[in-house]
Chain A
Amino acid sequence: MVASEIDRGLGGLKDKKKRYSAFALARNAASYHQNWQRAWRNASPKASYDAVIIGGGGHGLATAYYLASVHGVTNIAVIEKGWIGGGNTGRNTTIIRSNYLWDESASIYEHALKLWEGLAQDLNFNIMFSQRGVLTIAHSEHELKEMSRRVHAIRLNGIDSDVMNPAEIKKFVPCINIDQSIRYPVMGGFVQQRGGTARHDAVAWGYARAADDMGVDIIQNCEVTGLRRKGRKIIGIDTNMGFIKTKKVGCVVAGHSSVMAEMAGIHLPLASRPLQALVSEPIKPILDTVIMSNAVHMYISQSDKGEMVLGAGVDKYNSYAQRGSFPVPEHMIAAAVELFPFMSRLRMLRHWGGIVDTCPDASPILSKTDIDGLYFNCGWGTGGFKATPGSGHVFADLIANDRPNNIAAPYALSRFETGFLIDEHGAAGVAH
């Protein structure tokens, strides 16, 4: 199912002097770190490009990077209305895994995971990718049975996945409460050891820096206000910095995808909802893996700074305000305290929301449209961070060749007409 040979592109930075290394660190220490070069140029828009990517999140930046490094398309720009990584890329709980149920999902998420492995070298940027494992816990007999079925399906796709019993879980996560008398007892779980976390901002910065090095213009504070077309062809975009001519536009704007699509008269099956997360005050290392629970509904990990990072499900109504409703964090804190009683004594440090583009089958859209040169990459909803490299890689291929490869093909918009949905509500379990 997964292409064995991935074309990872040219990799690295052309200019050896700009590369980050222990040597560069020592050299710059000598001048008190006053002379580090800019990570990327502060570009202003040219009159025209071969292709324009709208949205400077991880997915948009990765798309630009692979367009340049794999397909040699370098006369391109990434247009971002705020600052790069300021959307969901910089707001997520950074969980990475590829243990999805359906073949189509296994194919794209595992493609991404293979790219994560080695991405820091490809980009010459420390993205702090940490394969600390992702453990999903079962709280009922039924859930446990469903999990073993899922584990077998995942393994058939060649992806690592193992069932754990409560004793093994206690050994893996000493701070967890496995007392069988609690409301949601830990009855077992399944783990993907190759899963883990990465530093979200670093992913945006790393892709931006490497793309910029190949000549990609990264244009911030530039909002796209219109998609201009002639007949069924795209001819350019309107922005607050003026008109930019181009024949190919890739839209990667997550929660704003419906707004963008309506600019071209296209209706999408998306609902934009707030997804919230919070971190506690930093504490000493206590949790060195990622824990997810569907029944109590939350997921938790500990950042390198020591904060406990918590997330849960989406708010129940559409919103474009990047804040959520209070009952949601209240619920996730209750869930965390149930599993980790010590957490009741922690103070909350920060809390935020991002607007996610939820899709009816909880799977993304990577698609051409019926307008020539207009492509959409959206619908990643609550769980697209883990897919960032894979999404960018296949979307770049779609834009460069004007046809989807076999990883992207199942994710076309036409599935909402044929009914060939990729229903990952169950397999994804907790929303992220």
Chain B
Amino acid sequence: MLQLPCPYCGPRDELEFSCGGEAHISRPLAHNKISDADFGEYLFLRDNPKGVFLERWRHASGCRRWFNVVRDTVSHDILEVYAMGRKPRSSAGKNAYNNSWRRTSAAEAAAVNK
């Protein structure tokens, strides 16, 4: 069982949390201007790495706030916890962030540049 450090409440058992999957996916704001393929990518395609993964968690049975986690999907080590809207600062987190295909995808570009 994981023990996650909620940035607001401290370390708690995994049972108190719900996992929100891949972090840092922006909703394409100009959704009527992008292709179905790009919108499909935003909606369905997911980073699913074997190794360091950036994901969102929610302290569902606690403070009910969302936060980001850098976690290794093989060892289950939790490498960093950081606030929503922020980017990872650990080197493992930074690498995972910069190397994700999503950073350069068309849907993401449409979201970031409006």
Contact = CB atoms under 8 A, between A and B. Distances in A.
Do chains A and B stick together as partners?
yes
Contacts of B55: 317-318
Contacts of B40: 416-417, 419
Chain B interface secondary structure, helix, strand, loop or mixed?
mixed
B45 A269 contact: yes
Interface in B6-56: 14-15, 18-19, 21, 36-37, 40-41, 43-50, 53, 55
Interface residues of A, number: 25
Interface string B72-111: 0111100000000000000000000000010000000000
B36 A317 contact: no
A309 interface: no
B112 interface: no
Contacts of B53: 318
Contact of A320 (B15, B46, B73, B101): B73
Contacts of B46: 258, 267-271
Nearest to B35: A417
A272 interface: yes
Contacts of B15: 327
Contact of B2 (A265, A270, A325): A325
A222 B50 CA distance: 19
B19 A259 contact: no
- Most chain A CB within 10 A, of B2, B48, B49, is at B48
Given A271-B48, A272-B48, A320-B50, A417 B37 contact: yes
Nearest to B2: A325
A272 B46 CA distance: 10
Contacts of A258: 46, 48-49
A418 B1 contact: no
B45 A417 contact: no
Contacts, number: 67
Nearest to B57: A317
Chain A interface secondary structure, helix, strand, loop or mixed?
loop
A417 B42 CA distance: 10
A360 interface: yes
B106 to A, nearest CB: 12
Interface residues of B, number: 27
A417 B96 CA distance: 26
A318 B48 contact: yes
Contacts of B41: 267
Contacts of A272: 48, 50, 73
A268 B1 contact: no
Given A327-B15, A417-B36, A268 B48 contact: yes
A316 interface: yes
A247 B50 CA distance: 27
Nearest to B39: A417
Contact of A327 (B1, B47, B76): B1
A316 B15 CA distance: 10
A23 interface: no
A360 B73 contact: no
A326 interface: yes
Given A317-B55, A320-B73, A417-B37, A327 B14 contact: yes
Given A271-B21, A271-B46, A325-B1, 20 more contacts: A259-B48, A267-B41, A267-B47, A267-B101, A270-B48, A316-B18, A317-B19, A318-B21, A318-B73, A319-B74, A320-B73, A320-B74, A321-B73, A321-B74, A321-B75, A321-B76, A327-B14, A327-B15, A360-B44, A416-B45
Interface of A: 256, 258-259, 262, 265, 267-272, 316-321, 325-327, 360, 416-419
19 contacts: A265-B101, A267-B41, A267-B45, A267-B47, A268-B45, A268-B48, A269-B44, A269-B45, A271-B48, A316-B19, A317-B2, A318-B73, A321-B76, A325-B2, A327-B15, A416-B44, A416-B45, A417-B36, A417-B40
Which 4 pairs of residues, A with B, have the shortest CB-CB distance? A258-B48, A269-B44, A417-B40, A317-B19
